[in-house]
Structure 1
Amino acid sequence: MPRRFTQLDDVWPAGLGRRLGAMLYDAFLVVAIWVLVAGLHLLAVRHLVGLPAEQVGAGVAQVVSLRLIMLASAFAFFAFFWCRGGMTLGMQAWRLRVQTRDGYTISLRQAMLRFAVACLSFAAFGLGYLWVLFDPERRSWPDIASGTQVVVLPKR
């Protein structure tokens, strides 16, 4: 069940600088997760499948499976934090929260859509995030597509 946030009158739309700061923090965390996932994938290929060391990473199936697992692990990281409390660890450091337009935690469907459009935004050389500079409500493409908003929380 979605949780309604408090202090909705005290928040304001997040600008590009704060968003980029939070993204940088979260990128370090995602890379750490990817290192762990790649190590586990390597162990699985070597010991469960039984491939010799010189054949690890040589097959298309290995490359595709690792990329899919990395994508799934990145999504799991973001979806867990967004749906649970609206903030990843990087967002907590920058006092940001993602929420629905009426102040609730986002759903898993919104998180999936938000993540997919975020990937497209990066693929378009960051244009989806630069959109914050032109949108009167400071929304990025992931915000618009998923019906969410990123807000700045007041200092305690």
Structure 2
Amino acid sequence: MSKPFPRAGFRRRLGSYIYDFLMAVAVYMLAGFIVSVPYLYLFDQGIIDSQGYAHAIDLLNSHWFYVTLNEAWKLFWVGFFFVYFWAKAGQTIGMRAWRLLVQHQDGSPINKATGCKRLLFTLLGLGNFWVLFDRKNKLSLQDRMTDTEVVVLSVEANRAAMG
């Protein structure tokens, strides 16, 4: 970027977080729906042992293996959503709405590896609360741990980033 943009404060990040939380819930639900179709088919065909349960959903919600596998699948896709958009355009859907961009502190775009590290240190969004204690630098926990920053784009720069 030729012109440096100011770092985002907590309120703007919170607004973006709310939008992205709703998107993450939608991705989570869609991933759950997608996995349920083959699971129900395999259960009905007897390929998955019912283990005494009358309904497939009872087994899915009760057996540690299926619970773990199902949750891991859904959380993978939620994580993929964030990493994909951060690495592709530096913005999730919520970030676009609030004109935010994640980038390295030198202004260069982040890659998938950095996106994965950011996701880990985000702590389900709680890492953003660090900004409240770092008013001078406006860096979240995930920013500090990955040498990244979230900046506020001008309206023109945000339009250019979307195009």
TM-score, normalised via structure 1 length: 0.85
- Out of 57, 60, 84, the position equivalent to 1:80 is 84
Indicate the SS of the match to 2:62.
Answer: coil
Secondary structure of the 1:149 match is: strand
Q: Where does residue 99 of structure 1 map in the other structure? A: 103
- Please identify, of 136-145 and 40-49, the stretch whose mean Cα deviation from structure 2 is larger: 40-49
Number of the residue aligned with 1:8: 3
Give, in whole Å, the separation in 2 of the partners of 1:62 and 1:8.
Answer: 50
Kept in 1, the 8 Å contact 2:10–2:132? The answer is yes
Number of paired residues?
145
Runs of 4 or more, structure 1, over 6 Å off, are none
Q: Which of 20, 41, 47 is 1:26 aligned to?
A: 20
Equivalents in 2 of 1:58, 1:140: separation in Å?
A: 37
Matches of 1:67 and 1:56 in 2, distance apart? 10
Alpha-carbon distance in structure 1 between the residues aligned to 2:62 and 2:36: 12
**Structure 2: how far apart are the matches of 1:58 and 1:151?**
44
Equivalent residue, structure 1, for 2:114: 110
Q: Is the 8 A contact 2:28 2:75 kept in 1?
A: no
Instruction: Select the residue among 62, 66, 69 that pairs with 1:62.
Output: 66
What amino acid is aligned across from residue 69 of structure 2 in structure 1? S
Give the CA RMSD over aligned residues: 1.6
Instruction: Give 5+ residue unaligned stretches, structure 2.
Output: 45-49, 157-163
Larger radius of gyration: 2
Please name the residue that 2:151 is paired with: 151
Task: Tell me the CA shift for residue 45 of structure 1.
Answer: 1.7
Aligned letter for 1:115?
Answer: L
Q: Any conservation in 1 of the 2:128–2:141 contact (CA below 8 Å)?
A: yes
Gaps of 5+ in 1: 1-5
CA distance in 2, matches of 1:67, 1:73: 10
Contact 1:86/1:106, CA 8 A, preserved across alignment: yes
Structure-1 residue corresponding to 2:159: none
Secondary structure of residue in 2 paired with 1:8:
coil
Code of the aligned partner of 2:101? R
| TM-score w.r.t. length of structure 2 | 0.82
Quick one: distance in 2 between partners of 1:56 and 1:116? 27
Q: Spell out, residue by residue over 1:101-122, the C-alpha distance to the aligned partner (whole angstroms, 9 max, x if none).
A: 1111101111111000112x65
